[in-house]
Amino acid sequence: MLDGRIQSVMSFVMFERVADIGADHGQLSIALIDGGRATKVIATEKNRGPFDALRSNISAAGLDGAIDVRLGDGLQVLKAGEVDTICIAGMGGALICRILDAAPDVLQSARQLILQPMNAVNETRDHLRTMGWAIDDEDIAEAAGIIYEIISAVKVPTAPKIFKRESSPLRREFFLRRLKKLERVRDEMSRSSCARSSEKFSALAAEIDALDRICRG
Ligand SMILES: C[S@@+](CC[C@H](N)C(=O)[O-])C[C@H]1O[C@@H](n2cnc3c(N)ncnc32)[C@H](O)[C@@H]1O
């Protein structure tokens, strides 16, 4: 049974050729093929232990033909044009950004990124924007009592879109949706005194406050 975090990552996949970077147990890769969301998956691992486990899990699932398992660092084991969607889940935001930066040709050839950073989520969002990617959707998922943020991004075809009219109804809708999502995260976090005293909680409260003002105004 897939947990909510992996289900959420999977639900964002738009294209049939997918890379699962740092695949570890291989649950996402296997579910992508079993669930018919992908026809080809390249599952990668940097470390030998998880790589061996990944290979045997994929063999046990009878998916050797559909999932190509590769040992190596980040996107460096991919060739440009091999996949359209790249998933990187369960790693720190800074590591995810480093992985993206290290293979510009592979990144350039991809059409969608699905990222689930374990921390530094705002920094990851900022990094995506500076690299010319636009966040097209986000989700919040829960697994074993922990809340995770999942980001889907697509390549910005030209220059990033600028809202010329402050009163654009789409802009307001966008902020309203984000506000609702962040309020849900805040409510979940409020249940834990540890989460309530975290820097993330303060940053979240500040962003909710700012969004609230925009939406009222
Ligand atoms: C916490 S696990 C997450 C596994 C899976 N992606 C998930 O979301 O459940 C992180 C995995 O990434 C692998 N990893 C760390 N750095 C990596 C890198 N630079 N390239 C590929 N894999 C990496 C680790 O070996 C580990 O198996």
Examine the domain organization and report whether 133 and 77 are in the same domain: yes
Single out the residue of 31, 36, 1, 46 nearest to residue 16, CA to CA. 36
Global pTM value: 0.77
- Domain stops at, among 136, 159, 182: 159
Residues sharing a CB contact under 8 Å with residue 5, sequence separation 6 or more, in sequence order = 89, 116, 141, 142, 143, 148, 150
44 lines ligand 1 (CB under 6 A): yes
Domain count, the chain: 2
| Domain finish residue from 159, 181, 200 | 159
Do 213 and 107 reside in the same domain of the chain? no
Q: Are 42 and 70 spatial neighbours (Cβ–Cβ below 8 Å)?
A: yes
Residue type, 164: K
Whether residues 154 and 190 fall in one domain: no
Q: Is the CB of 89 under 6 A from ligand 1?
A: yes
One domain for residues 137 and 40: yes
* Pocket lining: 22 vs ligand 1, CB cutoff 6 Å: yes
Domain shared by 36 and 66, yes or no: yes
More confident residue, 208 or 150: 150
Residues 48 and 144 in one domain: yes
Instruction: Tell which one of 25, 47, 75, 96 to mutate to probe ligand 1, the residue whose CB is within 8 A of the most ligand atoms.
Output: 47
φ, ψ dihedrals at 118, nearest 5°: -80, -20
Can you list the alpha helix ranges (DSSP code H) found in 164-217? 169-190, 193-196, 199-216
According to DSSP, residue 77 is labeled G
Domain harbouring 135, CATH code: 3.40.50.150
> Do 149 and 66 fall into the same domain?
yes
Q: Of 159, 186, 207, which residue sits at a domain end?
A: 159
Contact in structure between 176 and 151 (CB atoms under 8 Å): no
**For residue 130, what are the domain limits?**
4-159
How much is the pLDDT for 116? 98
Residues 47-85 pLDDT 10s: 999 999 999 999 999 999 999 999 999 999 999 999 999
Same domain assignment for residues 147 and 175? no
| Side chain identity, residue 59 | S
Co-location of 167 and 154 in the same domain: no
The rounded mean pLDDT for the chain is 90
Is residue 67 within 8 Å of residue 37, measured between CB atoms? no
The 10 Å Cβ neighbour count of residue 217 is 7
